[in-house]
Structure 1
């Protein structure tokens, strides 16, 4: 059966129909999508706030899909495909950084009205955010023990914790290529294909670091130095994560170029 004719369900519980028979609305399940932003009484910015976070989670899903594809490509020594996937990750991270500027239009006064209705909910609880960290190479098992982590989220995080990360895949790739001198690779003196992959990994690392920094600034602009929702550390916590990197050895190798 051709891919474009594969049957899918245009709505939950509905009959499976060929993709070619679906309208734009059905294919993208727009009617269902537009029901997922529930109003919050007394909070005029609720639609904006909820939709903005849902959009972020959708981009997290796309980024995870591409990171998984990049890891598989690296395992198969398909470095051009890995770079293509990582380029898409980097473009998604650019969108997320721009998206933060939109979220930053919420004023402190408007957020105060909204915050009173949020209870203990916090973006700190985003399981997909932790999945991106885990699959990239920054793994911390403590997040599995959070009191608000659901069973399904814990299962996903546990799987990510146990499987090889992107950093692991890169180390295995280096083994297969005879452990080249990364300083020489970055200087352009050896293995240009590997050098291009390193730049793609760095771009992902930089893109996520930019998002962390932008998130901290956006939060500071909206709530100042108060604790975050759900009792999280707010800006102080977010600032403490800005310097984190997924591939510290690749950043260190850049310095070594000038010593060789």
Structure 2
């Protein structure tokens, strides 16, 4: 909000026409003394500055009202709006699925951090013990000084085990984590993974696929020989994991991610009641 106001004030100082029009619309100057700008010119100025009034005032579709800490709630809402800017390509942003996922993950991680912080009364030792209770293989360094420095994957694994999170939600959260990691590490998985070649390989093993590329488990379960091949030679490989990730990634599932963050928010809210 402050950034937006600064831009408006800067433009007022630099552009007398904009200053007068803004004063007129706010009732600070008479229409007789203000220059009239047509709506199209106003829209062009707004677009140029990236003021993006609609997203700035957009009510979050994710209910964060249960968050008692003001700074956490405000940050979640801010990250939600930034996520939506990458969804719609506003305020100097282009529509960018990867950045959209990054801001979705920021919300997901903050929700988990809030949960562990509240339940364990901000005691880091208790938080670590809590996480390890439900993620027994968690590797948390003795040098960890803050909750936020514990990896998202470690926290997610513990949370989904403790609260029996739906597989579809945990998969989505893991996928946006992978997108974030690819952004951070400049991975080339998406650029070099050949889906068609891998599907040919799967079919060569007799693995049945749906039209969207995912394995048809209903048919697979009926053929014990092929099922054994899938379980022992394919299911746990990194290549198959990358394949499933690409099938999810290519359609750019913006809406399902938003719904997933809504679901996670509701789950955290429920666990804290």
Q: Is the shorter-chain TM-score for this pair beyond 0.5, marking a shared fold?
A: no
Instruction: Determine which structure has more spread, i.e. the larger CA radius of gyration.
Output: 2
Q: Greater relative contact order: 1 or 2 (C-alpha under 8 angstroms, separation 6 or more)?
A: 1
TM-score (norm 1): 0.26
